[in-house]
Amino acid sequence: MMGDTTRWDHVVTPVLGRTAPGASREEVVAHLRRASTELRRRDPLMIAHSGNGHIGGDYSIADVLVTLVLHELNLDPADPLKADRDRLILSKGHTAGALYIALALAGYFPVEELMTFMDPGSRLSGHPNRGYIPGIEANTGALGHGLPIGVGAALAAKLDGSPRRTVVLMGDGELQEGSNWEALMAGAQFGLDRLYAVCDRNRLQMGTPTEQTIALEPLADRARAFGWHVVEIDGHDHGQILDAFAAAPAPGKPTFVISHSHKGYPISFMSDKVSRHHHVPTPDEIDAILNELTPDDIDAILSELEEQK
Amino acid sequence: MTATYDCRGAYAATLADLARQDRNVIVLVNDSVGSSKLDGFVKEFPNQTVNVGIAEQNMVGVSAGLANGGKVPFVSAAGCFITGRAMEQIKADLVYSNYHVVLCAQSPGIAYGPLGATHHSIEDVAWMRVLPNMTVIVPADPAETEQAVRWAYGHDGPVYIRISRFRVPAVHAEDYSFAPGKAVVLREGTDVTLASNGVVLHRALAAADLLAESGISARVLSVASVKPLDEAAIIAAASETRGIVTAEEGLASGGLGGAVAEFVARTHPTRVTALGLPDTFAPTGSPSWILDHFGLSATGITDAARALVG
């Protein structure tokens, strides 16, 4: 059901663009933190508008998405199909809302268009479509598809001797699909060390916790046993996300990043709640979210990072 | 005796020719090198061959990723597995995502006769035909197989081609040129139209000879391009002859017969008899025995044509 969101018309999403070349690490982190907050402020409005969406998973993957799209990956919103761009494949296609906001923040398409999310005829379908908007590499939505496509994309790069990276963002519940394990075997067999699988390990699938459904643990051991280099990070810490991709990959091995995260993070009444998988927030809840997530002041973040040093 | 051919020979030679000209041509196999007659290809182009092992879902996903990276993948695996096992990958990763990948279904239909229904691919044409944006080609001889593979190489979108091992005579002229959505009249006729493709087409030609002996003039229409369908040729058949018999190596519903029946029902209703496997799996037997068993022989097609217009 389409909801009326006019009461939040005062909420504006800025086009932050990608990080500036030569920016210091502190400046990069501050930029990404601000973008992540903007993503989380816009997301519930889109979901309220469309009456549909996946707010829990949007929030758990938000920081990784923002870090990759606005900084880490070799991408150009002005030339979205440039030949040696890094490839970003959102295998957990149900968090398309978060991807759309990250792309709009980077400048791939106008931020105003975000509020057409799932409208009739909108380019912003409930799951991403590469024919509709720039910045999409594969039409995902059916789970267990992204990693095989990523293996192919990384293999094409390897065959061409290209240094481009391929990053697949996966849900954790999605690992219950067998096709992922076929792709894990193939990625290791082909020695695709420019391939990254990021598992958004929020430990919740649609109806239940993963470990109470079909357990994934010991996930790191399993990925290692399949021949992958494993890195574990706090998926809400932009510095750790940057470090995971800045580190040299293990020679001949693809990298499996276990990104420990929380559905609904950091909202007090949403975090880690299985009921928030595709909950449509009420107007009062949106007000509470916006209250908890005031737009970040870059200078304040920078001085905070300076103090931490 | 007429010479007969295994179309995999033309398939492998054509792929090698394309691979020589374009290093972006990649063959994907699921441990199916020998069964695709690609031993020579693998030897000559080890860096243009990807063996994903026995994992068809991954194979089709990988092909989409390769296409994303500028490669032209030809996925070469048994028709029964490439379709049924990877159906959702074909739908989402290739067809919906619109990637230029050529699915080369090896030994389709009942080519694996005695191995049984797990290895028969009698549903594939029906499954592939209903996918938006998919082109479906069922070549009848080596020349048509080569032409179809060459056309698919240049077509920017997903294509499904049946590559048969079941020996067939050459039915097309040497200067034959495949075009999607273009059927070929192999023999003119005015009483009935026999529309066929693949390994059954030469049987339809033989049926036309038998029908001529009993004074029935049969038009033989070669319909390799099941999708897109040559609508003009079907309308001509429906209006210029008194009925259409379709004959194909697969289920009688959903494939060529389904395509023709759906189309004439909408545009120019005429009588259609669809020959193929009825709503059943094939019993054990050699491919030719199975075809005969289900009336896909010269006499079976003749009988069906007589019953339709006689």
Q: Which long-range contacts (CB under 8 A, 24 or more apart) does A219-226 make?
A: A219/A172, A219/A175, A219/A258, A220/A256, A220/A258, A223/A184, A223/A256, A223/A258, A226/A181, A226/A184, A226/A185, A226/A188
CB B259 within 8 A of CB B226: yes
- pTM, two decimals, is 0.96
Q: Of B26, B58, B92, which has the smallest distance from its Cβ to A186's Cβ?
A: B58
Q: Domains (ranges, CATH) in chain A?
A: 20-308 (3.40.50.970)
pLDDT, position B239:
97
When pLDDT is cut at 50, 70 and 90, the band that residue A1 belongs to is low
The answer to whether the Cβ–Cβ distance between A186 and B69 falls below 8 Å is: no
pLDDT, position B188:
98
Task: Please tell me the distance in Å from A156's CA to the nearest CA on chain B.
Answer: 5
Q: Tell me which amino acid residue B108 is.
A: P
B51 touching A, CB under 8 A? no
Task: Please tell me the distance in Å from B48's CA to the nearest CA on chain A.
Answer: 8
CB environment A263-286: b (16+ within 10 A), e (fewer): bbbebeebbbebebbebbbeeebb
Q: Of B47, B67, B96, which has the smallest distance from its Cβ to A139's Cβ?
A: B96
pLDDT tens profile B185-200: 999 999 999 999 999 9
Q: Which of B24, B30, B47, B58 to mutate to test the interface with A (most CBs of A within 10 A)?
A: B58
pLDDT tens profile B206-255: 999 999 999 999 999 999 999 999 999 999 999 999 999 999 999 999 99
Percent of chain A with pLDDT over 90: 89
**Which has more confidence, B100 or A271?**
B100
Q: Of B61, B70, B71, which has the smallest distance from its Cβ to A149's Cβ?
A: B61
pLDDT at residue B1 is higher than 90: no
Q: Which of A129, A149, A180 to mutate to test the interface with B (most CBs of B within 10 A)?
A: A149
Cβ–Cβ contacts within 10 Å for residue A24, how many?
11
Q: List chain B residues with CB under 8 Å of A92.
A: none
The answer to whether the Cβ–Cβ distance between A157 and B47 falls below 8 Å is: no
The answer to whether the Cβ–Cβ distance between B64 and A178 falls below 8 Å is: no
d(CA A177, CA A143): 7
pLDDT tens profile A47-82: 999 999 999 999 999 999 999 999 999 999 999 999
Q: What's the ipTM?
A: 0.95
Q: Report the SS3 class of residue B247.
A: strand
Q: Which of B30, B45, B47, B52 to mutate to test the interface with A (most CBs of A within 10 A)?
A: B52
pLDDT tens profile B46-83: 999 999 999 999 999 999 999 999 999 999 999 999 99
User: Among all residues of chain B, which has the CA nearest to that of A136?
Assistant: B97
pLDDT, position A216:
97
Does the active-site annotation cover B248? no
The answer to whether the Cβ–Cβ distance between B58 and A183 falls below 8 Å is: yes
CB A292 within 8 A of CB A69: no
User: Among all residues of chain B, which has the CA nearest to that of A141?
Assistant: B92
Q: Domains (ranges, CATH) in chain B?
A: 7-163 (3.40.50.970), 184-309 (3.40.50.920)
